[in-house]
Amino acid sequence: GENVEQHPSTLSVQEGDSAVIKCTYSDSASNYFPWYKQELGKGPQLIIDIRSNVGEKKDQRIAVTLNKTAKHFSLHITETQPEDSAVYFCAATGYSTLTFGKGTMLLVSP
């Protein structure tokens, strides 16, 4: 089955800096890669996703890049704000269920 590795496990940045979270996956058949944000006491919330037919997708301050050859994808957050502080999860799937990484705790200091 699919195996998703995510790093770093924690990331501390100053407000206004950029943050990058990286994931690798094992199943070359995977073709859908969402990113979720989870705040304390809440369920994961989808923030952006990318399909295998594109290499990059951007939504305001958030962007995701995908390298299918190397089997890795990354989340980029620019101009970070304190409200970006949360745990971020990457995930991957082919035609079955989502497999999640272990998460990255992002701390944005004012």
Partner 1 sequence: DTGVSQDPRHKITKRGQNVTFRCDPISEHNRLYWYRQTLGQGPEFLTYFQNEAQLEKSRLLSDRFSAERPKGSFSTLEIQRTEQGDSAMYLCASSSDRVPFYSPLHFGNGTRLTVT
Binding site for partner 1 (CB under 8 A): 4, 6, 31-32, 34, 36, 41-46, 49, 51, 89, 91, 93, 96-103
Nearer to partner 1 by Cβ, of 24 and 44: the residue is 44
Nearer to partner 1 by Cβ, of 79 and 102: the residue is 102
Nearer to partner 1 by Cβ, of 71 and 100: the residue is 100
CA dihedral 106, 46, 58, 110 (to 10 degrees): -30
Give the whole-angstrom CA distance, residue 73 versus residue 75: 7
Instruction: Tokens for 16, please give them.
Output: 């206004």
Minimum gap (Å) between residue 75 Cβ and partner 1: 14
